Amino acid sequence: MRLHAAALGIAVVLAGCVSVPSGPAPVSSVLDAPAQQAAQQRLEAREATVAALPVLAFSGRVALSKGRDGGNGRLDWRQEGGAYRVTLSAPVTRQSWSLQGGPDGARIEGLDGGPREGADVGLLLREATGLEIPVAALAAWAAGARADATRFGPAVVEFDAEGQLVRLRQDGWTVDYLGWQSPEGPPPVLPLRVNAQRDDARVRLIVDAWTLDDGAVDAGVP
């Protein structure tokens, strides 16, 4: 499927930005019962910490694609409870579009034809851009947490030999974790490189910095 005219404009916006390498996903190892339980407990502790944060925000580089169409750009994401504001931009062209919303709907600005609004953010993005982006769940997934099971269904998780989360499957998406912050820093330890895919839709993310409770945390990504 070809992208709509608005999405072709986004491809121009994204042109010339730093690409996000996909890389192979780490191979998950089978853990014995005690190690599996310990890994699950660490996951639940991170989820509880993330859920308690009044602000969860990150900035970085993103690659979006739907089939053979897509592009790369800078991404800034700010989440406060169920409310979010997402900005995608190209520093070279200084063009951008933004998405703002929450559980009751969303508004997208910066596209040809003026702002657009809709009750379903996923449908709004598909109609406006031709892209498929799991906005409602991506903040949780980007933080290495499962999204709300009442909205997105149960999640299946996989851990590596050290008990670190390497893969999460939920709502038809497969989320691979390719890099994490150093465990020596303050909790929670957050992902640095995340790939999400459902069918021919892909989101590849490199986080340059996390912001927790309005305090910036350098992710340490070159």
For residue 16, the one-letter residue type is G
What would the pLDDT profile of 5-34 be if each residue is shown by its tens digit? Answer: 444 344 444 433 444 444 444 444 568 889
- The rounded distance, in Å, linking the Cα atoms of 105 and 83 is 10
Q: Which residue has the higher pLDDT, 3 or 178?
A: 178
What would the pLDDT profile of 78-110 be if each residue is shown by its tens digit? Answer: 999 889 999 988 665 667 889 999 888 999 998
pTM for the whole thing? 0.82
Measured torsion, CA atoms of residues 218, 52, 35, 171, in degrees rounded to the nearest 10: -90
At 175, phi and psi to the nearest 5? -110, 120
Return all residues near 56 (Cβ < 8 A) that are at least 6 apart: 50, 78, 79, 80, 139, 143, 210, 211, 212
Domains and CATH numbers, the chain: 5-218 (2.50.20.10)
